[in-house]
Structures are given as structure tokens and as C-alpha cells.
Amino acid sequence: MIIYVVIFSILAVLLVASALFAIIQKDLLYAVIATGVISLILSVMFFILQAPDVALTEAAIGIALTTIVFVITIRNTTRNEDEKEINSK
Amino acid sequence: MDFGQYQNIVTISVYGSAIALILIGLYAVLIKKNLIKIVIGLSLADAGIHLLFVAIGYLKGGTAPIFSPSVVGENVTMVDPVPQALVLTAIVIGFAVTAVALSLVIRLYKHHNTARIDQIKSLKW
Amino acid sequence: MVISPVHYIAVPLLAAFVIPLFAKLNREFVRIIPGIVLLYLSYVSIVLMNQVSSTGTISEVLAGWAPPFGINLVFSAFSGFLASLMTFMGLVIWIYSYRFKKIDDEPALKFYVLFLMLITGAIGIVLTGDIFNLFVFLEIVGISAYSLTSFYRNRDGAEAGFKYLLLGAFASTLILLGIILLYSSIGTLNMADIAQKSHLIPTSLKVSIFILFVVGFGIEAEMFPLNGWAPDAYSQAPGPVGAAFSGIAVKAGMYVIIRLIYTLFDIEGSFQFLIVMGLITTIIAEVSAMKQTNLKRMLAYSSIGQMGIVMVAFGIGTREAIIAGLFLMLNHAIIKGLLFLSSSYLVYNDDNKLISSLSGLGKRLPLVSFLFALGAFAIVGLPPFSGFWSRLYLLLAAADKELIYLIAIILIIAVIEIVYYFRVINKLYFKDIKVKSDDVQKPSINAVISMSILGILIIAIGIYPDLVTSYLGNAADALLDKAGYIENVLVDINN
Amino acid sequence: MEILKYIGIGLVLLGSIFLLLGAVGIYRMPDVYNRLQAGTKATTLGAMSLILGVGFMEPEWLVKTLILVIFIGIANPLSSHVLARSAYKNNQMPIIKNGIDAYKKINDSEKSEEN
Amino acid sequence: MQTVSLLNRFIYTWVILFILWYAFTTSLEPAELITGGFVSLVVASFSYKVFTGSGLKIFMPHKLFFVAQYIFIFILALIKSNFDVARRVLSPSLPINPGIVEFNTKLTNDFAKMVLANSITLTPGTLTIDIVENTFYIHWIDVKSDNPEIAHTEIANNFEKLLLKIFN
Amino acid sequence: MKNIIVIALLLVVGFYLVDSFNYIKFGDNRLGAPSDEKTVGAYYLNNTVEKTGVANVITAIIVNYRGFDTLGEVTVLFLATTGLGSILYRRRKEGEHEERVTKESSYLLQTGSKILFPFVILLGIYVFIHGHLTPGGGFQGGAIVATGFLLMLIAYKNFKLGHNQLTWVESLAGITFVSIGMWGLITGGTFLENSFIPKGTLNSLFSGGIIPIIYIAVGFKVAAELTGVLDILLSIKPSKIKK
Amino acid sequence: MELNYLYITVLVILSIAFIIGMLRFIKGPTASDRVVALDTISIIATASLVFMGYIFNRYIYLDVALIYGVLGFIGVIIIARYLEGAL
């Protein structure tokens, strides 16, 4: 099944790309959205690796709950990594 | 699923991305100054670990270890259930640690009005 | 219901879930229930210790699945000794912290639940026979420790807690990696099964796993260079919690490292590795302790140094050395417990906990100062206190193996310890009084009782070391008997 | 039953093409609102028809796929609405060609109330 | 919003949740059905007040006919809108002329307004941005007029008529 | 400079990891093969259906074979809630009312969450009741239920959460879990032994003995705990509002 | 196996859609754009989970897709509410 080879490599590249994005971005909100995306991709990967339970857990914990916890933290602290003023776009 | 001659590519992409996630996460933990970034790094490293866990349990041509009606009685291979069970536990624990870490970040910010390590100087780092 | 090791875990958990409900009836239940639980656990300890000394190791199967398919608890003379020690220390610290004034200013319900869980988690680490279960208990210890460290609402508590959390999370990442490698190479998680099959793992892989585990658990065991969290956590946490860390949490980490080396993996050079790490840890910690101006930090560094000596003792690896090591652990728990407990009254109102502010407190707080001095004398190893005997056993064990350099280093360390502890005692007794009598906090009656228990124990063991050495001998035998451990656990019950 | 299967295959293919169209839409359009315009319609129809197609190909799954389809039908427009509104409240002005922006006045009045 | 008795609303919620439960399990075993009945009872008991305001009326047969008609029109509009999107997205010049228009609706029911808003979002070239009271604010990719009346007939008329029949 | 050292260190670690994983082939027929009875995974696959009556092997492992882990895991979440409460504790001033979100959400989102709220809750409960038959279980279901409450919490300014009820649900669920475990001890078996309730037939709702009961208890507990965490976090007052 | 071609075609199309969504996510430029991309890729992923569930021929995998859809929706709502300045 060559298609899975392709899918796996695409997902792997996207996973690493969004991880790098999460680390490099100065705007923490982008980093948080990126962790959401990482959870999303990971969840698909778990699904293909025949682990539906884990995919479910990763989706349930990673996409919604982790995101809200991070977002609340950003709300209560600062949105920019270097704590400079940024316009809120 | 049998990957045939492309086995290596799959191996590299799964293990490679998992290890890359771990390393990127640890890099953020060690280098970044912003506390929230550090916590993000931790959760990235955790994510890599989880992927690694599931990957070692995978079996070529296996299906999920659930004996639902369509599977009972057929001769099917199933993937190893143990790593999946462990990673479930690990994910929940990881979330608990992340939540506690972030609450500490919030409190630090309230005291010091900054979320950067290099500006919180009352203790040595 | 027959008393079995699982009571150590199940009863406190039940209590922890019940406490929020009872708190609605009366706030006092929040404080009392942990005490009742710890008393009950002490009773369990006594029953089980008797049982072990008569019938040998108890391996309890959980959920009806024989190991390696289920999780099991192992109560041997060795793990049982540590579990009982932790229970005892927990009880004493509970007596001390009952209505401790600084804690009652804060959400006390949370303190007692977290404290109870800290002890439960540590006991779980010691008793469990499954490596992943051990990780879960480590996280229980971890989360309660992070929260307890930042329990006070002052500036630095959160910082110390975060530092601890970072290292702890890093450790759990490494431990999980180790578990992945372990499981994928031999397909089992039971420690006895791992011990049986560990020769099947390729050596280089085995070394990687070993390093991952040692680094991971070394953070909890205050091994150099992973002990950066300790001084901050000890100095920022509430007084009783500092005692609980040094008496309970650290012991659990040390237990795992010992288990790894003695039972799980037989890797060449791991014993020497332990000696070297122990020596480095000790020397650096004791030298840093000299420079501290903060009393709690000084005690913390001293605690790290003591754990280093324990590592050295277990690195020597003979039966005598193990006895010495266990004796050191016992002493460290009791004496450091006493030091932490008494010191938190000495620096009660001083947020910086400076040693210089102790000047003349010996006259203002005679009892507390006396107990502190007693602890200081005991920990540096002066006769006739208990600390003396453990040092002596260690020196004898080292002499047996003709490790002359070790003897020299241990003696030098003792001298360093004497220097910095006597600096404090000098401040306490031989300097002018600076503090007004209103500024000091008189200890409550239960605090005095708990500290006195520890003080009496120190003297009693000092005078009759045979009280404990026979138990320690059994414990050492249990630790060395790897084949017996495997055999005991891997009995087929279900099939 | 064969005919259902072929309908299903058709729906699946159509759905995947529309999903691709949605992705291209959010890539090509110039601002958030236009992206949402393209993204929502195409992905909603795409996902609905793909999932329904799977339901037709495997008739036992039909009930559950219908639930998913209904959910997507409710949730997807809703989320795009919430996104559009939040973008506007976040001062992200849409590209307006003819100066027709009826929402601006109510948004401004809300803002002045806050201050 | 017209008031309907609490019991009516509760039973409506219960029935809907029970149907959902059946859809989740797709099994007619007595055990599943009993559990489902119980669970949907529990969930309904704390959510019926927020779930619905109109109650069982929607199950009247002639309304079901309108519902079917609505779904038919809606799907046609959805497909049309997708081809519209395809035309706009794939043409190299991106033919857009966006703007935000407003119009008033006659609908009073919450749910009806939501359905209308969602339908508008899914029909050609329009996206609901906000509803304030009875006014809809619509992002229109190809603005024809900023007159609310014209916008209303262009965008929402068909749907609104049917929804009025269904919900009033 | 520090950057370079860290990168070098991480590269070394990465090299060792890659080297270690050389021993472990991806998708290899290593464990779990029915012929090899000795490994843990294979044992579970071959014996779960017969001995526990549960279709989902992972559930059997989590709740029964390694049920002790799950007890610990539930405790970790419980401790996280407690710790969070202790870390973010603050005294309420007189007359201060809780306000989770500063702005009411749009009319549409409110209506939408009204409709989706029971749906999400029911979905969560479905997931943890069917934990032994389908993917998912207590944790996932609990998380989904908590997410349902989260939807209401962020959509409505004044959505009231019964703190008392949360405590009751959480405590009772925890007590149920431990008591079921202890019941095994009292009846002369082992902790968490799955013996005193009939196992039922495979793939029916009432099967698996205590496993579904425990998973339901876990589900309620996790739901209450996570909702508690979200509630604590959402009701923090920002010290200064920074744009 | 004429169905094989169907699988490959659909999965390839979905992958391309996923990549394009990710490109928009990485390009931005604003937070709203990224959330739009997150929304889109979560829908695409839900659809592909359903389809892959069909390929693996396991009915129970549909549950995963359903929950995935629900949670993706709520995740988007959370960030949108933050951007609105309400959280």
C-alpha cells in the first residue's frame, strides 16, 4: 500500500514543520494554535497506526483542553514571547 | 498493511518525526526564555513520546485490538495493545502536568509581572 | 479483611476522595482524617513487618492477574523497611503540622490532601513491582510536590515550584523513553520479569535504558547535577513539607536507583558509577552548604550531601555496606526531619531564613534550639547519637573492601559538616540576643511532641544500635537476593 | 445494493474534490472573510458528501454517518460565523469594494460603550 | 418567544436525545435501549431548559413536510453555492466584490434564526457575521445593493418563508 | 554560545535515540504474535475475550490488568485539580461575583451551544458507557463531557456551575472506584478482582463484570475533575488587563 | 480491485487538500487566518478519518471521527472567543 507511505511521510513532514513553527514563532497564540494542529496531525497518525483509543484521547485532551488551558494562560500573562507590545491582529 | 520496499521510508518518517518532536521540545525547554514557550516545549516532547509509544506497538497488517462483532471469529492480526494502554495513561498525566505548570506560570506572572526566566531573578536558575 | 500491602495505597486514596465530602460537614475532619489514615498505616506496617520477618517476602497480586500480566506489590524486608519508615515519618510530620499556623492561613484542605498523597505516592514507588506503575506513582509524588512547594503565596514559592516541575517533567520524559525502549526490546514491564530477561537486551541498548532511568530518577533522588531544584524547593516549601521531601520523597527516588542497579540490570561498572556519582554529589553539595547564608538552603545542601553518601554506600555493594546505607537512610530521615522541623520554628518570621538572624535564639526558644543542636550533633556523626553508628558502619564497610580513598573523603566531609553546623550552633547559643521575644513563634504542643519523638529516637538508636541493625540485616539480604525476588514474584497463581 | 455503492463512490469522489476546492479557496482568497466564504461552503458540502458516500457504500454505517453529516451541517457554518465575528471584533477590517459596510456602525457603537 | 410548558419541552428533549442515542449505538438490544432511555433522561433533566423553547410542535406532520421541502431547497442552494465558489476560486482573476449588508428578519424563534443564519452561510456568496436582535449582518462576496429590502429578497427570502411556516 | 552547546547535546541525544531504535523494527512481527505466548501483549490478545468478556482489549488492560495504574492516573488528575486550586487560590472579596468571560458571545453561538451542549454531553456519556465495546472510555468520555461544559462556560457569561454537585460527583466516583477494588479484598480475592459480577456475553452492553462500572465511575470523576480545572482557570481575574 | 484506485485517488486528493490547508496555516498572516486554516484542516481530517475507517473496514472507527469533529469545532470556538477579546 504505497499510498500509506506517502501519507506517513506527508504527515511526518507537516508534524515537524508545525513543531518548528510552534517553537520559532514569537507570537505565543500562534504557537498554541500550532500545538493544536500538532495534536490534530498526531491524532490522524495514531488512527492510521490502528490506535483509535489513543487517537480519541489525543483529540480530546490535545485539541480542546490543552488549547483552552494555554489560551487562558496567555490571557492572564502575555501574548508575545519577548513581551513587547504587539498589535492584536 | 504491508509497505514492501518502502518500509524504510515509513520507519524513518514515523520514528524520525517522533524523535524530531522530542528534540525540538527539549530544545525549547533548554533554550527558550519564555515560560509559556517552555511549557509548549514540554508538551511537544510529550507528544513525540506518545507517537513513539504507539509506533513501537504497531504491527504490519494489524488492526485495532478490539474484538467487535465484525472481527470476532475471523483470523486477524492485531497490534500490540500494551503500548496503547500505557500511552493513554501518559497523555492524561501529561495534561495534568501541563495544567499545573501553566497555573504556576500565571502565578509567577502575577508576582513578577513578567513571564521571562531571565527577568525572574530572586532564585538562581 | 486480611491486611495486605495494597492497604498502603488504597486506604489513603479512599481518604483523599472522602476528605472533600467530610470537609462540608466540619473543617476539622480535613486535618484529622490524614492522621487517622497514617495511624492505620503504621498499624499495617507493624503487622506486615512481623509477617515478613516470619514468612519472608510478600508479593501481592492485584486484580487477580499473576505477574507479569498484572501489577503486583512486593513487600520485602527491604521495601517494607522503607515503606514503614515513610509511614512513620509521615505520621510524625502530620503531628507536627496539625494546626500549623502558617498552613491554616491558606487553603488547608488542599495541603492535607496533597501531603497525604505525597506519602502515598512515595510508598507506592517503593512497593510496586511494575515499572510503569512506578512512573505513575512518581507523577503522583511529583504533582503533589510541585503544588506543595508553591503552597505559600509569597514571591518565590511559585518559582521554586516551577523549577522543580521543569526538572520533574524532563525526568518523566526520559523515564518514558526508557520504558519505551525496555518494552520494545523484551515486551514486559514487570520488574521481576525484566530482571529475569535483562540478559536478552543488547548491551548498548541496555546501557541507554539504564542511563535514561538513572537520569530520570536521579532528579528525584537529588543526584548531581540534577539537584538544582532541591535547595529552592526546600527553602520555599512549608516547613513540614521540607521534612517530608528529605524524609520521604527523596528516599523513593533513591530506592528506584538502588533497585535498578541491584535487581533490574546487571551492567558492568554500575556500582563504580554509583560511587563516583555519590562522591561528586556529596563533595559539591557539602562545599556549597558551607557558603549558604540561608538556613533552609544550608540544610537542603546538607541533605543532598547525605544522599550522596548513601549512594556511595550502595555503590560499595557488600552486605555490610548495604546495612550502612540503609542505616544512613534511616538516620537521614529522622535527623533531617528533626532539623527541618525545628528550623522552621527558628526562622519562622524571617522570609529570608538567614542564619545570621538566629543570633541568640537559644535563649528565646530553648527547647527548639536544643532539639536543633541535638540533630546537628547527630548528623555530623558524633557519638553517642545514631548518626555515629551509620558513619562507623560505612567506614568499616569501606575498609573491608580496602577503599582507603573513600574513608579519607568521608572523614573530610564529616569535618566540613562539623564546620557549618557548628557555625549555626555558635550563632544560636554564643551570640547576643537580637530578636525581641514577641518576634519568635513559640512551638505548639503537638509540634513539640513530634520533635521530641524524633529526638528521643535519635538518642535511643544511638545508645542501642542493635534496635535496628537486625532488621537492616534482613533488608540487606532481601535486596541482595535477586533470584529470590524473581521467584517470589513470578509464581503462577492464576493459571 | 450495487447501485447504492456506485452512488456512494460518486459522492465520495465529489466530496473529496470539494474538500480540495475548499482548501484551495482558503489559500487563494485575499482576506479572512473571503477565505471563510470559500472555505465553509466547500468544506461543508465536501465533508458531508464524502461521509454520506461512505454511508451509502456501507449501508450499516448510514445512521451514524447521518449524525456526523447533521453535526457538520450545524457546526461548520456556526464556527465560521464565530470566526468571522471574532475577526471583525479583532479589528480586522474586510476588503470592501463599494464602501458598503453596514456592520461597522454597530461595532463602533459597542466599542465606544466599552470605553 | 412563545412559552411552552416545561413538561412539553422536557419530553421533546428526551425524545431527541433518545433518537441520538439510538444513532450512536445503532442497536436495538433491550439493554442498550434501557440504558439509553435512562441516560437521555438524566441528560435531558439538566439540559432541557437550554435545549429548546418550542417543544414538541415540530413533530406535526404538515411541518415535517415543510422540513423536507426546506432540506431540498437547501441542498440545491448548497450545491449551487459550491459551483459558485469553484468559479470564483479557480478563475485566475478572483472576481469578488465584497461588502457587508444588513437586513431585518421576521423570525422570532432562536433555533429558526440559527437555521436561517447557517443556511445563509452555506448559500452562494454570503456569510453571516452577526445577528443583533432581528438584524442580520451578512458578508456578501458580490454585493448587488446595500438596500436592506433588496438584500433580504436576494439572500434570505426563500428560506425565511419556509422557516416561518415551520416554526410559527 | 549556549545555543550551540544545547544543539550539540541534543544531536548527541538524538543520535543515541536513533541508534537505539535501530534495534526495533517498525511494524515488525515481534510481539503480539499469537504464537508467542510469553510476551505480555500476546497474552492479553489471546486471553482477554475469554477471561474478562470485554471486547476492547485496551479497556481490559487499562481497567483490569493494569487497573492500579488507572487508579493512580485518576489520582494524578485529582491532585492536579487540588494543586491548581491551591496554587491559584485567592480569597473572594465581599460581594465579588464570578465572571468567567468578559463579553457575552454572539447570539448565534449561544443558540448553537444550547443545541450542541446536550449532544456533546450525551456523546461523552455514550463514549464512557461503551468503553468496553468501542474505542474510548472513561478518560475520553470524561474529557468530552468536560468539553461540553466548556462550550457553555465560554459561550455564556452567567452559566452556573454547581460546585457542590461537582464535589459530590467527583468524590462519589472516586469512592466507588476504590470501594469496588476493596470489595475484591473483602470477598477474599485480590484488589480490583473482576470476579463478583457475571461477565456476560461478548459485545453486549452488560458484559465484562466490573470493568464497565469502573470505567463509568472514572468517566464521571474525570468529567468532574476536568470541569473543576476549567472552572478554576476560567475564573482567574487578570491582575492587569494588557492589550 | 477497482476500489483500490478509488482509495488512492481520494486519499491523494485529501492529502493535497491537507497540505494546502497547512500552507495557509503557516503563511498566516493573521491569527484569524490561522484559525480558519485550523478549522478547514480539522474538517478535512474528520472526513479522511471516516474514509480511512471505511478502508480499514471497522465500524467502530466512526466514533473516533465523530468525536474528532466535535472537538475540532470546540477548539476553533475557543481560539475565536479569545480573539474576540472575550476570554
Q: How far is CA C102 from the centre of its chain?
A: 24
Kindly report the nearest CA distance between residue B46 and chain C, in angstroms: 7
Q: Are strands C58-61 and C72-75 parallel, antiparallel or unpaired?
A: antiparallel
The CATH number for B16's domain is 1.10.287.3510
Cβ count within 10 A of residue A81: 20
pLDDT score at E113: 84
- Residue scoring higher pLDDT (C259 or C108): C259
What pLDDT digit, counting tens, does each position of C13-37 carry?
999 999 888 888 888 888 889 999 9
* Mean pLDDT, chain F, whole residue set: 82
Task: Give residue D53's domain range.
Answer: 2-114
Cβ count within 10 A of residue C435: 17
pLDDT score at A88: 44
ipTM given for this complex: 0.93
- Count of the separate structural domains present in chain C: 1
Chain D residues inside the 8 Å CB shell of A88: 90-91
pLDDT score at F35: 46
Q: How confident is the model at residue E3 (pLDDT cuts 50, 70, 90)?
A: low
Contact D/F (≥3 CB pairs under 8 Å): yes
Q: How far apart are CA F222 and CA F145, in angstroms?
A: 9
Contact C/A (≥3 CB pairs under 8 Å): no
pLDDT score at C4: 85
**In chain F, what are the domain boundaries?**
60-89+100-237
A25 in any annotated domain? yes
- Residue scoring higher pLDDT (E64 or A54): A54
> Reduced to 3 states, what is the DSSP secondary structure of residue E142?
strand
Residue G71 at interface with chain D, using a CB cutoff of 8 Å: no
Arithmetic mean of pLDDT, G37-55: 90
- Please enumerate in sequence order all residues whose Cβ is within 8 A of that of A62, keeping only pairs 6 or more positions apart, or say none: A35, A36, A38, A39, A40, A42, A43, B47, B91
Residue B18 at interface with chain C, using a CB cutoff of 8 Å: no
pLDDT score at F241: 47
pLDDT score at A84: 67
Q: How many residues are there in chain C?
A: 495
pLDDT score at E160: 82
Cis bond upstream, residue G29 (ω within 30): yes
List residues in chain F touching G: CB distance below 8 A. 101-105, 109, 116, 119-120, 123, 127, 133-136, 140, 144, 147, 150-151, 154-155, 234
Q: How confident is the model at residue A16 (pLDDT cuts 50, 70, 90)?
A: very high
Chain G residues inside the 8 Å CB shell of F104: 86
Q: Are strands E135-140 and E126-132 parallel, antiparallel or unpaired?
A: antiparallel
pLDDT score at F145: 92
> Residue C136 above 90 pLDDT?
yes
* Mean pLDDT, chain E, whole residue set: 82
pLDDT over 70 percentage in chain D = 97
Q: How confident is the model at residue F36 (pLDDT cuts 50, 70, 90)?
A: low
What pLDDT digit, counting tens, does each position of C352-397 carry?
777 777 777 777 888 888 888 888 888 888 888 888 888 888 888 8
What pLDDT digit, counting tens, does each position of E34-73 carry?
988 998 898 888 887 777 766 666 677 777 888 888 888 8
pLDDT score at A89: 40
pLDDT score at C123: 92
Arithmetic mean of pLDDT, C153-172: 86
Arithmetic mean of pLDDT, C201-226: 86
Per DSSP, the residues of chain B read ---GGGHHHHHHHHHHHHHHHHHHHHHHHHH--BHHHHHHHHHHHHHHHHHHHHHHH--TT-B-SB--TTTTTS---B--HHHHHHHHHHHHHHHHHHHHHHHHHHHHHHHHS--BGGG--SS--
* Mean pLDDT, chain C, whole residue set: 86
pLDDT score at B122: 62
> Residue B21 above 50 pLDDT?
yes
Kindly report the nearest CA distance between residue D96 and chain G, in angstroms: 18
Q: How confident is the model at residue B41 (pLDDT cuts 50, 70, 90)?
A: very high
Which residue among F108, F116, F119 places its CB closest to the CB of D81? F108
- Cβ separation of F191 and C110 shorter than 8 Å? no
pLDDT over 90 percentage in chain D = 9
pLDDT score at C40: 93
- Count of the separate structural domains present in chain D: 1
C389 in any annotated domain? yes
| Nearest Cα residue to F34 out of F24, F25, F23, F44 | F44
> Residue C223 above 90 pLDDT?
no
Q: Cell 475533575: give the residue.
A: F225
How far apart are the two ends of chain G, measured CA to CA in Å?
Answer: 53
> Residue D25 above 90 pLDDT?
no
Arithmetic mean of pLDDT, B89-94: 92
pLDDT score at E135: 84
pLDDT score at F217: 92
- Phi, psi values for residue D100, rounded to 5°: -95, 105
What pLDDT digit, counting tens, does each position of F178-191 carry?
888 888 888 877 88
- Cβ separation of B58 and A35 shorter than 8 Å? no
Arithmetic mean of pLDDT, D51-65: 88
Give A 5-44 residues with CB within 8 A of chain G. 6-7, 10, 14, 17-18, 21, 27, 29-30, 32-34, 36-37, 40-41, 43-44
Q: How confident is the model at residue F34 (pLDDT cuts 50, 70, 90)?
A: very low
Arithmetic mean of pLDDT, D60-82: 89
B35, A34 contact by CB (below 8 A): no
> Residue E132 above 90 pLDDT?
no
Task: Give residue B21's domain range.
Answer: 4-119
Chain A residues inside the 8 Å CB shell of D92: 89
pLDDT score at G2: 61
pLDDT score at G17: 92
- Please enumerate in sequence order all residues whose Cβ is within 8 A of that of E136, keeping only pairs 6 or more positions apart, or say none: E102, E103, E104, E105, E116, E117, E120, E128, E130, E156
Q: How far apart are CA C442 and CA B92, in angstroms?
A: 44
- Cβ separation of E35 and F117 shorter than 8 Å? no
Cβ count within 10 A of residue C442: 14
- Phi, psi values for residue C307, rounded to 5°: -65, -35
Lowest-pLDDT range, E8-12, E92-96, F32-36?
A: F32-36
Q: How confident is the model at residue G16 (pLDDT cuts 50, 70, 90)?
A: very high
- Cβ separation of A88 and D92 shorter than 8 Å? no
- Find which of B64-73, C164-173, F155-164, F192-201 is predicted with most confidence, using mean pLDDT: C164-173
pLDDT score at F33: 43
Strand order in the sheet with E135-140: E99-104, E135-140, E126-132
C311, C254 contact by CB (below 8 A): yes
Contact E/C (≥3 CB pairs under 8 Å): no
Task: Give residue C343's domain range.
Answer: 331-485
What pLDDT digit, counting tens, does each position of C50-86 carry?
888 888 888 888 888 888 888 888 888 888 889 999 9
- Please enumerate in sequence order all residues whose Cβ is within 8 A of that of E79, keeping only pairs 6 or more positions apart, or say none: D45
- Cβ separation of F185 and C146 shorter than 8 Å? no
Q: How far apart are CA D28 and CA G23, in angstroms?
A: 11
pLDDT score at A87: 46
> Residue B121 above 80 pLDDT?
no
- Cβ separation of G20 and D20 shorter than 8 Å? yes
pLDDT score at D32: 85
Dihedral sign of CA atoms C123, C126, C130, C135 in order: positive
Q: How confident is the model at residue A85 (pLDDT cuts 50, 70, 90)?
A: low
- Report the chain A residue with the minimal C-alpha distance to residue D87: A89
Task: Give residue A15's domain range.
Answer: 2-76
pLDDT score at C344: 84
Q: What is the 3-state secondary structure (H, E, C) of A1-60?
A: CHHHHHHHHHHHHHHHHHHHHHHHCCEHHHHHHHHHHHHHHHHHHHHHCCCHHHHHHHHH
What pLDDT digit, counting tens, does each position of F58-70 carry?
888 888 888 888 8
B124 in any annotated domain? no
What pLDDT digit, counting tens, does each position of F107-132 carry?
888 888 888 888 899 999 998 888 88
D39, D25 contact by CB (below 8 A): yes
Arithmetic mean of pLDDT, C406-418: 88
> Residue G44 above 70 pLDDT?
yes
Residue E125 at interface with chain D, using a CB cutoff of 8 Å: yes
